[in-house]
Each structure stands twice: as C-alpha cells, then as structure tokens.
C-alpha cells in the first residue's frame, strides 16, 4: 500500500489542501462547505431518527451545491453521551463537511476527475481527519467521479 500524505498551505486569500497517494495519485481540494450539524435543531436532543434525517438533509445539500457530480457519504460514526439521568444519547460530530476533490490530469488528456464527499467531524476543517483522508483515497474514483475538462 502506498503512503498517504495530506498537505495544507494558506495565503491571505485562500488555502490549498492536497492529498497524495505515494507518487501515483494526487487529489486537490476544489471546494469545502461546512456548517453546524444540528443547526436546525432548536429544541430537544438528537436521536437515531434525527441523525438519519440530518445525514439525508446534508446529502441533499451536497446535491444542491454540485448537482452534476456524485456525492460519496463517508463513514458516519455517531458517538454517544450519557445524560445526568442516565439516558444514552446518540449524536453526530459537530461539523458537517461537504467537499469536492479533483484528481491530477488523466494521462494523455486535459481532463480531471471530480468527486464530492460528505462527512462529519468534531472541528472545522482543515485539518481533515486521517480516517476521512484514507476514505477519500479509497473511493472508486474511476466509476464514481465526474470527468471534467480543464480547457
């Protein structure tokens, strides 16, 4: 297995985030959209049904942002916490992330592959969690990504 590395650089105007898989492949962040996972929850506590709805709505948001590109939902791992009354509450990480990454040029063409991803993490990105980076690299880019021309 090739070594995976992520590099982040920043200027005043923007930032660049690149994932490299050995010498074979590179994926560059095209855009990143983030928001509070429970931004629409005004009262009450999360539960399994609400968490499913949150994931569904986030996927719909990803489709609105980039309607012509498939979105891959990365592993959603709800955590739990116990209230003072002993009630166990399932919750999703605080930040919902929707991002598109594009590949290097496809050899012999002026085309790249573009693929959207949806995931949840506890802090605003960057950084992007290592498990998410690994899943982005493991995605089926050949079959799921949209081919785009750069010229």
Domain count, the chain: 1
- In whole angstroms, what is the distance from residue 151 CA to residue 139 CA? 26
Token pair, residue 144, equals: 């799921």
Token pair, residue 17, equals: 């985030």
Instruction: List beta partners, residue 96.
Output: 35, 120
- What are the pLDDT tens digits along the chain (151 aa)? 567 655 655 555 466 777 777 777 888 888 899 999 998 777 778 888 999 999 999 999 999 988 888 888 888 888 888 888 898 889 899 999 999 988 887 777 778 888 899 999 988 888 888 888 889 888 888 888 888 887 5
**What is the span of the domain harbouring residue 69?**
4-149
pTM above 0.75, yes or no: yes
Four-residue CA torsion sign, 25, 8, 132, 66: negative
Contact 8, 127 (CB under 8 A): yes
């Amino acid at each position: 297995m090739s070594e995976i590395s992520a590099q982040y650089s920043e200027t005043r105007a923007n930032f660049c985030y690149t994932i490299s898989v050995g010498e074979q492949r590179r994926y560059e962040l095209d855009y990143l959209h983030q928001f509070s996972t429970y931004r629409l929850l005004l009262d009450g506590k999360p539960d399994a049904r609400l968490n499913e709805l949150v994931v569904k709505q986030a996927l719909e948001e990803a489709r609105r942002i980039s309607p012509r590109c498939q979105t891959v939902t990365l592993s959603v791992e709800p955590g739990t916490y116990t209230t003072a009354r002993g009630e166990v509450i399932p919750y999703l990480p605080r930040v919902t992330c929707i991002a598109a990454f594009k590949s290097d040029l496809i050899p012999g063409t002026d085309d790249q592959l573009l693929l959207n991803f949806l995931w949840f993490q506890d802090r605003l990105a960057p950084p992007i969690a290592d498990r998410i980076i690994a899943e982005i690299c493991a995605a089926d880019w050949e079959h799921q990504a949209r081919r785009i021309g750069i010229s």
